[in-house]
Amino acid sequence: MSPEIELDHWHDRYAKRTSRMRTSAVRDLMAVADQPDIIALSGGMPETGVFEETLRPIAEELLVDEAARTLQYGPSQGIVTLREQICDLMFEEGMHVHPDDVLITVGAQQALEFLGKVLLDDGDTVVIEEPSYVGALNAFLSYEAQFETIPTDVSGMDIDALDERLGDMDTPPKFVYVIPNFQNPGGATLSLERRQQLIDVVNKHDVILVEDNPYGRLRFKGDTLPTLRSLDDSVVYLGTFSKIFSPGVRVGWIVAPPALRDRLLHAKQAADLCSSMLNQRLVEEFFKRGLFEPHLKKLIEIYSGRAEVMAKALKKHFPAEATWSDSEGGFFVWAKLPEYLDTTEMLAEALAKKVAYVPGSGFFPDGRGKEAIRLSFGAVGHDKIRQGISVLGEVIKGQMELYESLKF
């Protein structure tokens, strides 16, 4: 009897596709980060401690006056008034969308999963930035995707390289997936010139473009750039309230042309019938009562301050050999350490010293990026950021000294 059979009596019953499913380093670390004495520079968690009393009257109304509706099933596509509000929000970013084209999902993550379900067959290719969001990679891997990765720099994806790669591929990819603003994990923002170029290239090669934009409204410096969807109506757009309101409500959305939207709706019906009415109504009331604008302003101020504190701490405590991103928004910093370091191995020491980060390799489909780390200041105060970076700096320098001492 093989060890696998001894360990798992059902080893031969699983669907073939499960062999490519993998755990997310970020989600695994979330359990650790939840411990009160850990400085969690790991999860992409936004600040949720600033609502004060604003939600109390809404929650009371929804759970008392409107309980019969909010505790009921709802339409699979999502509440129409919330979809209208999403269209208003998108209009503020230059996008003209009809509520019929919006599907409300359980976070943008569910939209990613549905894209996999609806567009990917075994072995289909998805083109992604290098590095890219681990949750997207895992969603597409569940549908047995292959990846083509395109290099990125401070201005985002290298579109000339994309053009060349698309030209070389015998079978075209199913779609190109990009996070154009304050990218997770790299922090890069796709430049205006490249946005236009990207639209031209995907149109030239007739490939679907998927724009995932959870952080676009969280800009704290530089000029706002047009979304890809505002440049071309055929772009499939993913939005979420997670980073600008609350990830706990799990309300996101996807905008797609009608035929694709219908298939996504079928996927939604099969997955969970509908999103939580209570959570959708909470989001809707938050916006309707004019609470969003001041909240967003507060978040941007907070992240701007934390970005500055982290940049100073990195400069003070990280070794001269390290480099890191300087994002204009969002809350991620992508740091590259000397290439001989393995940040997955180094994590145990950092955790023992009560600091969590995400090792870089999880953001590459082929496990590269072992010398990189992703840091997040989303839900961490100034003192904790300073302390966390100081500890990490010590851990990194210690590892470098160890490497030097073993070299001969």
Ligand X SMILES: Cc1ncc(COP(=O)(O)O)c(C=O)c1O
- Which residues sit at the interface with ligand X, rule CB under 6 A? 44, 107-109, 133, 135, 179, 184, 212, 214, 240, 242, 247, 252
Compute the radius of gyration of the chain from its Cα atoms.
22
Q: Minimum distance from CB of 112 to ligand X (Å)?
A: 6
Compare residues 128 and 341 and give the one whose CB is closer to ligand X. Answer: 128
Which is nearer to ligand X, 78 or 247 (by Cβ)? 247
In the complex with ligand X, the residue whose CB is nearer, 240 or 327, is 240
Least distance to ligand X from the beta carbon of 247, Å? 5
Bridge partners of 374, per DSSP, are 334, 358
Whole-angstrom distance, CA of residue 237 vs CA of residue 255: 5
For residues 128 and 112, give the distance between their C-alpha atoms in angstroms, rounded to a whole number.
Answer: 13
Q: Give the nearest distance from C-beta 39 to ligand X in angstroms.
A: 19
Q: Which two structure tokens, joined as six digits, stand for 161?
A: 């390289």
Residue 167 burial by Cβ neighbours in a 10 Å radius (0-12, 13-18, 19+): exposed
Sign of CA dihedral 270, 275, 277, 278: positive
The minimum distance between CB 104 and ligand X, in angstroms, equals 11
Q: Name which of 244 and 391 has its Cβ closer to ligand X.
A: 244
CB of 64 to ligand X, least distance (A): 28
Name the minimum Å distance from CB 253 to ligand X: 9
Structure tokens at 155: 């201005």
Contact 194, 178 (CB under 8 A): no
Q: Which is nearer to ligand X, 184 or 399 (CB)?
A: 184
Q: Which one, 341 or 359, has the nearer CB to ligand X? A: 359
CA distance readout (Å), 380 to 45, 47, 305: 9, 8, 11
Q: How many residues does the chain have?
A: 408
